[in-house]
Structure 1
Amino acid sequence: MFRKPLTLTSTHKLGGADVKKLKKTLEKRFGASEDDVDLLIPKKSELSLAKVASPSRVHIVIADGHPIVYDVSGKGDFHLTVFALWRVPTLLGPPIALVGAPVSRFILQGADLMLPGAVVPRNASFPAGRVFAVAVPGNPMPIAIGEAEMSSDDVAAARSGGGKNGGKGRFLKILTSHRDALWDVAASQPSRPTLAPNAGFGKKVVSAVDARGRPVEESEGEEDEEEDEGEEEEIAEGGMMSDGEEEEDVEGDGAPPAAGRSEAAAAAAAAGVAAMTVSEDASSLDMDALIDRALLQALKHSVKDHALPLLGSALWAQHVVPCRLAGAGRTLDVKASTHKKLSKLLKVKSKLGWLTVKEDKHTKEMAVTSVNRAHDDIMNHAKHETASDAADGVAAAAEAEASATPDEYKGAAAAAATRDDASGSKPAKLTLSKVLKPGSSTAIRAVFAAVNESSEGGGDDSYSYSYPYEGLYTAERAKEVVDAYVALRGLDRGGDGGAVAPCPPGHVVLDPTLCDALFKGVLKKGDVYPTSMSASDVVAAWTNRFHPQISVRRGGKEATRKGELAPVRIESGTRGPKKVTKVTGFEAYLIDAVELSQTLSAKLATSCAVSDLEGQNNKGKSEVTLGGNKVTEACEVMTSWYGVPGKLIEKRDKLKGKR
């Protein structure tokens, strides 16, 4: 539920009456005792209610920086979070254990829990829809919360082989988990709360812990007999295979399981989680096998339907090569395979039914026109770690090691950590960028809805390719939305099924939805709507329906301002017999008033004071007052020290240089 990032629109503190009402609601809804609720919401804790941006109606209750419960409808339909279970682990009853710690890697990546990956007690009785906590064996703290999509009778039938899926199926639909969007909310809190209950909660996997709370590394040097016995016990307890059922091929490409594969890959395949398969003998595969693995990965996870038709050269460079298997030790080369040519490779895979190809009239090159996502080879392909993923991981690790900001904190919390660690060093770099916010027209929403609905059918991780209506866009990314819609409807080829007359080359036919999105409310009454436009004019009209915004970033802090940024005002004047310099408007550039006062005082060797500005429109704004006429010097500090562009500083020396 919380796989995508959340945008919080407003946050306000809860009063004493609201806190009492919330405690009674939690007691009634979850059958908790007063002691449990007191542990969940301790006395004198700071409670606030955060609202998620529309169209969502989710409300989140935050206690001391931890999102403890969330309300799906905004009307008291509360659900617990993992942060709440870290405070009171027994609120949802005994947790469902995973078959092993490696399976937690895929839960943290957003996958649901399949039946073979769960240890369900045989004497348990529960209906479908029951909410369970999920835990790793050997770690007492839950890592996720999920809703059962199978009853205890369904589980028993699946174990005995009577289920229609033969012991498979989705057991829990994960509602929230460690390191999802709710975890990001906690990481962005200025109070910098604790983000993990013990040392076993890592960035990518949750492991068991010993009595002292330290992670337990699983031994790898056990004898074969002991290892076989342990596997048989796990299968019997977790229901991975029903009685008499043969072990399935889990490699996804028809090959038997690799003898040297890692434990994480074995657990993922056995648990039925759609996730990364690690192959330790990748270097031993021949070129044909490497190309097949990369092509299957690209067709299943990288190539989207709205991007078709796609030239073979583009498919190879943009999708197949980045999806090559990590650890192979060599690059993909069609000439080194038995196919020798890319066109022959595509024709062979077309005969196998993976895809359909057609010769492009202009380039005389083979182009992929469709992908058969229902083909067994594509459906059974297990996602592997790509060379691109490995390179990104190395770069990310190097960047994280070089950065002084703790990786787990975000937003205001990251800024606070940066300020604490810097000990008076130069502020983080200021970055200003122009972004666009979609207009409020329902026709514009319809274009976004059509594109997102199309992308949701693209693959297991297709949600990462959607275009959220509430998001902010660069001009290039805003262009991607309308281009995707044009390609989806076939408007650059004469409309769906040729229902609209073909348009000239480089032009786009305007269907009613796109026409309304571009011109509704723009054209005057009586004006004729165009039926077609050049592609460049469509992009220009589309981006014109967005509202310009300015994104301001400084370290871990980020803010968005409507329209153009107001300049920093530096003005000299008098206060009684004394000459002073006033600095205002610096908040727009994420500069703290107290910190600015201290910096100007130290650099300009003068006294500084901070005061709040008066007026209804100046709430939350401050003024820094310096002793003496320091307009030029203060301007230099703002540009060289804080990175504010000179064109965004408004200087006014009323004293005309007099000190």
Structure 2
Amino acid sequence: MFAKPFRVKSNIAIKGSDRRKLKADISTAFPMLSAEQISEVIPNKEDLNVVKIYTHKGDSVTLYVLHKNPIFFEVERKLYPTVYTLWLFPDLLPVFTTWPAVLQKLAGGADLMLPGVVVPPSGLPGVKQGCLCAITVVRNRAPVGIGTATMSTAEMLGAGMKGKGLSVFHTYTDQLWAFGDKSSPPTIAPSDPEPAESEEHSEESDGGGGEEEEKDLGPSTDTASKTLQDQQTTPHCAEPEEKAGEGSEEAEEDGRTPQEQMDELLLQCFLHALKIKVKKSDLPLLTSTFLRNHMFSCCPSGKQLDIKKSSYKKLSKFLKCMQQQRKLIQVKELSKGVESIVEVDWKHREKGSVLTAAEVRTIITNYVKNNELVDEINKNYVTINPILCDSLLDKQEYQEIEKLKWDDLFNRCLDRMQHCHQLLFPGQEPIIRKGHIEPIDITVASRGANKKVTLIKNLELYGLEPHAIASSLQQRVQASCAVNPLPGSKDKVLVQIQGNQVVHVGRLLVDEYKIPRKHILGLDKAPKPGKKK
């Protein structure tokens, strides 16, 4: 339904009465959600918009958008949750699991075919025809799509797992997902062990497509039935054991315990979420929403965030540490038993490291290569993943830019970083200041009829004492010299010396104080030598 761009007809804030009606409709459509959970997804005092759109096929759809993320959409008076909502409540709907390669087909508009469904040892969920279901990929319980069952579970098994299983409405990476903040699915461990079947097999069976592709989508009926029976009766644990072994080897090479590694990952996701995801308008923010919507989506690819495996064990204990020890946030219990982040110290210097442009380029290059973002067709381009999208693209570019050239990637990153400069003096610690350093400015002004004076400012920025410079120049040129406050500035002064003394000022600064010429503005204002007779 959202495989292609849609047209927005209207976008307005929801009324109080409509907000209450929406809560009631959600409670009716999804009775398993408690009142607290519904208030979490539809908060009373936060901005919620109603967006009317037309899909590329002309269907009229109503979106409910919270924090710029679509959380529900309504088609023909029926409510459907988006992937952003399903990441909060992964067990809201019956789940069918498929392979990552199939997800690409689904995002392109294909339906989920039964040969692409991975059957867990516990068997398929019991559903009826028309039942709303979620779609996940192996090794992650976070839903990546929704659709309706085209037949009951019994009919699926009776058909030998052939034919169309789900009519897909919405998936991760489609245009509805792109209408939000483009965050990635959280990593949620599967509740059941999953088959140790290879992804190569999934690509051969290819679970997405239409009815005309059914002949090439999987094995024969007898083979499919036998495979299904084997999967239901035989647990497959070889792959998880191998991965556990690999993790142990990595822990040994790292030199830190798994708990210490999880503590670091927890802090990394926390800081990333505060820096990239959370805005002042989001506060107060439920701590549970902060974890599910922001911290999970900031977890690096290939890693799984699990607070129970950290030294904190609970989210409340971790946030309390961030509040008391690091002074980063303030958490309050706004309602009984429900905690919210009410304040964030946006100016807190948690890192403060100074990087050169070359070091930034190296970090970006390593990140792109480690995450395999180099475009396979043209190596001069980098594919923009959700983290790079949030960090480097403007909101209006989200749906337009999918790749960037290397130079554009570097320049965008450098432009968004805080510029600074460093002063080095013999025998002293380096002095680091924010922003670009201003040049020493030398100007020649007229005073009276034919009198001229030389004005020098910004000497303090280079560690020079203005009074010492004025005294040295006065002795050199035998002219009156004064030091006055610089108009419009509280801590800067202006050195003024009689006559056009640009030549002498330049020699003093360049030859004696070793100030590079590129940091001195106005040396070209020196008087030109007269013609020889």
TM-score clears 0.5: no
Bigger strand fraction: 2
Q: TM-score range by the shorter chain?
A: 0.3 to 0.5
